[in-house]
């Protein structure tokens, strides 16, 4: 069977907007079987590869069938044997490589987002530092230090001249961070951002060891009044003055946040996208807490039909997928946000490259070179890159992006809402080189595991044992 080899990196290939050109093949059905001498293309090709390399298993969470229903809203891990899933009623599950077990969270609030990092000894492989954070309803943020989950203080106090800290009570929907540079929790801190309802954005402040809400200054005009509260007039015109107020960067619900290096991006309702770039030095963070619409992005690309964004993930800040309602997504390459075109055969359709147009909740992808099938008579070095992207959403939606084509994996193992996705990352090409870089078997190919969570305690594991 002829294959379409990808020999470029994920940044140049998997995230290429040109894949949208195959949108009209999204509804191709079948199991990938071809007639004699027939080459597979588009979705049938991807479906055939899917059947060939991926194993799918539903795992027991212990939450199935509960009343009220317990939904697992997000999942994060540091390795295939250290994974955390969070959900309703303060639910936190941990996977140790064998089974999922509940953890004591100390709260009954609904949890919607989780992110963390670990440090390992380079020689022994033992974990030297572990921090995991979970966020949820009513201003809830929890921190796990490797021993127990503890509630974190979350306040809003933007006016340094008139301190008046107030608790933040909005619902948080997601959290992301960049790992701390060292093993000392007292001096080395991750850059952490959580986002939620009504445009709330909070950041971890290492000086006060709490989460603080970020706001921007704005000049507001007001009427001048006398000591009795009466408006003072200058002739017939009311006397006015200005004062500094502190407002949120948006009033839209923010559903997801992602960061890489010194830049973060938050997305939300009505096509909202905000970016922030900060200094690598914590002492400068408080002076760089401005979140603005990114250059190269305009909501005009949507005409008057502004979508709600629910998820964002990428391979660095310049290679992003932003997903949301009706199968709509943006692909950011470099500084440009690109919207897939309308389907050619339906000029009245909404903007979407994913059919059927489910509510897409999250995206995750991987790529590793020289790990696909070796061409007949060739060597492993001639094998192309193995690249897969996964869009997951409601109604059991699983759309894949591979070989330059989108494909809706039909008859997936569930029709339930899918909410969270996380997967293991392959090592770099240099780290996978063996035999001094010579011979037919030049590279090790890392196996890939992907975990998807959803409603009613749903946990689905995808295994690609050869990393193809």
Return the biggest CA–CA distance within the chain: 94
CA distances from 267 to 68, 159, 230, 429 (A): 30, 26, 44, 32
pTM, full prediction:
0.88
Cβ contacts of residue 10 below 8 Å, gap of 6+? 315, 319, 365, 366, 367, 385, 387
Q: What is the pLDDT of residue 15?
A: 42
Interatomic CA distance for residues 75 and 113, integer angstroms: 8
Angle 53-57-105 from CA coordinates, rounded to 5° = 130
Angle 131-135-137 from CA coordinates, rounded to 5° = 160
Tell me the two tokens of residue 47. 């479906």
Q: What is the pLDDT of residue 38?
A: 56
Cβ contacts of residue 290 below 8 Å, gap of 6+? 216, 249, 276
Any idea how long the chain is?
468
Q: What is the pLDDT of residue 353?
A: 65
The residues pairing with 85 across neighbouring beta strands, listed in sequence order, are 75, 93
What's the average pLDDT block by block, 10 residues per block, for the chain (468 residues)? 31 41 35 51 87 95 95 97 98 97 98 96 90 98 96 92 91 96 89 97 92 90 89 89 88 97 96 92 80 92 88 93 90 85 44 75 95 82 88 94 84 92 95 81 93 98 96
Interatomic CA distance for residues 409 and 30, integer angstroms: 10
Q: What is the pLDDT of residue 341?
A: 52
Evaluate whether 418 touches 454 at the Cβ level (below 8 Å).
yes
Evaluate whether 446 touches 467 at the Cβ level (below 8 Å).
yes
Evaluate whether 224 touches 231 at the Cβ level (below 8 Å).
yes
Delimit the domains of the chain by residue range: 17-206+251-464, 215-248
Evaluate whether 370 touches 379 at the Cβ level (below 8 Å).
no
Pick the CATH number of 17-206+251-464 from 2.60.40.10, 3.40.640.10, 2.130.10.10, 2.40.50.140: 2.130.10.10
Interatomic CA distance for residues 55 and 52, integer angstroms: 9
Interatomic CA distance for residues 280 and 267, integer angstroms: 23
Residue 210 Cα to chain centre, angstroms? 23
Q: What is the pLDDT of residue 276?
A: 95
Interatomic CA distance for residues 419 and 310, integer angstroms: 10
């Amino acid at each position: 069977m002829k294959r379409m080899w990808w020999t470029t990196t994920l940044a140049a290939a998997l995230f290429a907007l040109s894949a949208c050109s195959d949108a009209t093949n999204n509804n191709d059905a079948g199991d990938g079987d071809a007639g004699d001498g027939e080459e597979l293309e588009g979705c049938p090709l991807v479906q055939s590869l899917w059947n060939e390399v991926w194993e799918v298993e539903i795992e027991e969470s212990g939450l199935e069938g509960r009343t009220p229903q317990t939904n697992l809203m997000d999942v994060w891990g540091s390795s295939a044997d250290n994974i955390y899933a969070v959900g309703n009623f303060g639910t936190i599950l941990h996977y140790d490589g064998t089974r999922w077990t509940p953890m004591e969270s100390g709260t009954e609030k609904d949890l919607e987002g989780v992110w963390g990092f670990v440090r390992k000894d380079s020689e022994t492989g033992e974990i030297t530092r572990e921090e995991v954070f979970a966020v949820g309803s009513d201003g809830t943020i929890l921190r796990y230090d490797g021993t127990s989950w503890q509630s974190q203080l979350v306040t809003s106090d933007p006016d340094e001249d008139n301190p008046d800290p107030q608790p933040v009570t909005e619902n948080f929907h997601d959290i992301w961070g960049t790992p701390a540079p060292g093993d000392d929790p007292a001096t080395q801190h991750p850059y952490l951002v959580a986002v939620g309802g009504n445009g709330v954005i909070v950041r971890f402040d290492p000086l006060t060891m709490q989460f603080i809400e970020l706001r921007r200054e704005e000049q507001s005009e007001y009427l001048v009044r006398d000591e009795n509260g009466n408006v003072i007039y200058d002739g017939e015109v009311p006397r006015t003055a200005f004062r500094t107020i502190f407002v949120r960067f948006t009033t839209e619900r923010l559903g997801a946040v992602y960061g890489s290096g010194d830049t973060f991006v938050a997305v939300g309702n009505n096509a909202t996208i905000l970016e922030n770039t900060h200094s690598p030095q914590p002492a400068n963070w408080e002076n760089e807490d401005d979140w603005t619409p990114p250059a190269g992005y305009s909501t005009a690309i949507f005409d008057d039909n502004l979508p709600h964004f629910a998820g964002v993930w990428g391979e660095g800040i310049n290679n992003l997928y932003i997903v949301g309602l009706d199968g709509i997504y943006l692909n950011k390459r470099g500084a440009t946000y690109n919207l897939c075109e309308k389907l050619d055969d339906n000029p009245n359709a909404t903007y979407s490259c994913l059919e059927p147009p489910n509510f897409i909740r999250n995206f995750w992808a991987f790529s590793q070179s020289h790990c696909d099938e070796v061409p007949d008579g060739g060597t492993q070095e001639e094998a192309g890159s193995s690249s897969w992207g996964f869009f997951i959403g409601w109604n059991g939606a699983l759309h894949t992006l591979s070989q330059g084509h989108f494909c809706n994996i039909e008859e997936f193992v569930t029709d339930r809402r899918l909410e969270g996705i996380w997967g293991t990352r392959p090592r770099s090409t240099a780290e996978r080189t063996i035999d001094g870089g010579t011979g037919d078997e030049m590279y090790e190919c890392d196996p890939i595991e992907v975990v998807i969570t959803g409603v009613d305690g749903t946990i689905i594991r995808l295994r690609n044992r050869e990393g193809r």
